[in-house]
Structure 1
Amino acid sequence: MKHNVSITMDQKLFRELENIRGREKRSNFIEYLIVEGLKAHTAQNKQQTQTPIIISPVSKKKEIVG
């Protein structure tokens, strides 16, 4: 089942979208971009939650010789 969604966007963004989509239907192209954006967002969030943060109690300072 599909839902009808109305959005407003900046004129420059709209022109860029129109130039890129070619002969593809606008709604199909926007849906494709949203799906790809959600995939990228999910992958980025998954990577951030799986990357361990290592904090070293030892601080190394470089000496400046001059």
Structure 2
Amino acid sequence: MSIFNYQYEGYQVAIDLDVDDKGRWTWSFLINGKHYAESSAPLRNNRAVFRDAKLHAERAVDLLPPVV
């Protein structure tokens, strides 16, 4: 399991990457500590899974109200 934390548009994003015993990667993410989504299909490598998770997380943040 790997966790990546960063700020995007004023929100704290935490992406969790996990690999199973067959080498399949999945992801989930939190925005400001609230669970938002997780992958529904495993991916083959950590770069692909991180890009997929980051894209979904940032799209979710873009739908939230701006941080003032």
Greater share of strand residues, 1 or 2?
2
Q: Kindly name which structure, 1 or 2, has the bigger radius of gyration based on alpha carbons.
A: 1
The two structures have a TM-score, normalised by structure 2, of: 0.33
The two structures have a TM-score, normalised by structure 1, of: 0.34
Q: Which has the higher contact order (CA 8 A, sep 6+)?
A: 2
Greater share of helix residues, 1 or 2?
1
